Every structure is written in C-alpha cells, then in structure tokens.
Amino acid sequence: MKKQTSHLIIVTIVIVAVIVILLAGELLFVDETSLNWNYQQLNMFDHSLDNFSFTYSGDERDDNGNFSKMINSINSKYPKILFNINGGDLKYNANELYNFKREYLTQDTIAHFNKPILFVVGNHEIINDPKESYYQNIFGSPSYYNFTENNSYFIIVDNAKGKLNSTQLSWLNDQLKFSQKYKNRFVFMHIPLYSPPGEESGMVKAGQGGADALNTLFDANNVTMLFTSHIHNYYTGVWGKTPYIISGGAGAPSENGHPPNHHYIVVNVSDQTVTYMYVPY
C-alpha cells in the first residue's frame, strides 16, 4: 500500500510539473526530423560548380500568399541556383515557427524551395521566446554559423536582440580574420546596422557589439557585401567602407506609407566578379 501511495505521489508530481511548464509556455514539442535544419541543408550543396548563384530574401511574416509567389518565382526563373538564404522574420512570433516549417519546408506543401534554403534569425523569432528555443530547435544551435563555397566565405550573424554579446562578437572577429584567405566575404544578419530615414530602427548604435563597433570591424576586414532585412523595403549603399543591401520584400506587409515592394536578390559569384540583381515578383 505504501509503495502504491509513493508511486501515486510521483505520478502526481510529474503531472503537476508538466502542467506548470505548459502554462509557462516553455514546453516545446519538437519534430526530431527538423532539428538543425541549416546544417542539414548545407550538406545538400553541390560543390562541383566553379561559378554559382544564390538568392537572398527576408521578412515574410503575415505574407498573405506572397511568400509562396516568391518561392515559385525563384524555382521557375532560377532553377540552377546553388542555394537560398533568408534574412529572418518568418512568422510574427516564435510560437508560429513550427507552422512555418510545415507550410514551406516539406515536399508536400503548395510552395517549397527546390534548392537548399538557409535561415538567419530575426527579431520576430524571439518574440515570446528570448532564449530562441523554438528557433534553435528547428534551425540549429548556435543560431550564428559560417560556411564556405568555392572562393567565398559566408558568415551568418544573430543580431535579433539589436546587438551582439561578447561571445558572438569574439567568434565574428575570428571568422572575419580567417575569411581573409578567401576572395569574397559575405555577412548576413537580420537587423541593419543603421536605419534609412523614416524607416524602422537599426541596431543599437553604441557600445560593445553595437552598430558602430560592427561597422568598424566590417570595414577593417573588407566585407564584400553585408546583407540585412528587417525593413520591408529595398535599399543599397555603403556604411563606412562596407557595402550593404537591405532586402525585406519576401511578402510581409508594407510599412511607413510605402507601397508594397515584393522582391528578392539574385547574387552571381564568379572567379572574377560578384553581381547583385533585384528581382520583383
């Protein structure tokens, strides 16, 4: 009898603990096949190409069907690209990320990418989840990573909180130093260093891991192109010595009185040159 009572107490404690966790919104139901998506996609690259192309896009939350249009446009117009990179803000908040995976990252959906697709974490991926648990359980941990392709070094940065912590900043510094062995250095992060006039704010400006510090670091290491999203529009220019592209046209609603600007960027990389093409859809 005492043994049964003891077992009953243990079961009750477990049930209560699960209920508490559920109420706190911390229990994540993980699809094991989707773990470390970015790393799985990297293993699908075709490394036999001397010259290659990729697309960049970002900000498709609340897309009202536009993201599917973009995917179909990329698949039909650029079937020979090597991969895609997405700049983040996949859904409005972290709780919806598994819906995004089911809607766009499986073969039986209405629209899915025919070539590998890598992701950058955006600020909407940390709404209701500042520890990035949902994002990392799907796309991989840590949320910042690097890879190489032919003559190019790719660095994906997590600036979803508006600045970098000391750990990631040290990692980024090491990556940029190592990347000097390559002809091209491409950096990707969701929030722009600075905001164009009248648009949503950029990164935290001052301090360690802020925009000014990163701009100085990128300038010193001759970054070939800095790709960002966050702003639902298209801008290009130079911050200091660092050229940048802001591309947030993957389907999210227009902001700040601008008309919709749905688009993606096609990047062509050869031994000699890199070209960037704005493609509306």
Whether this prediction's pTM lies above 0.85 is answered by yes
CATH number for the segment(s) 34-280? 3.60.21.10
Amino acid at 107: Q
Pairing of strands 234-239, 225-228: unpaired
Amino acid at 97: L
pLDDT beyond 60 at 4: no
Look at residues 205, 203, 207 and name the one whose alpha carbon lies nearest to residue 192: 203
Look at residues 81, 83, 102, 80 and name the one whose alpha carbon lies nearest to residue 91: 102
Q: 37-68: per-residue pLDDT in tens?
A: 999 999 999 999 989 999 999 999 999 999 99
Which whole number is the average pLDDT over 63-88? 97
Q: 162-176: per-residue pLDDT in tens?
A: 999 999 999 999 999
The H or E element that residue 57 is part of is strand 52-57
Burial 199-236 (b: 16+ CB within 10 A, else e): bbebbbbeeebbbbbbbebbeebebbbbbbbbbbbbee
The percent of the chain in helix, strand and coil, each rounded to the nearest 5, is 35, 20, 45
Q: 147-203: per-residue pLDDT in tens?
A: 999 999 999 999 999 999 999 999 999 999 999 999 999 999 999 999 999 999 999
pLDDT of 35 reads 62
pLDDT of 245 reads 98
- 3-state class of 268 per DSSP? strand
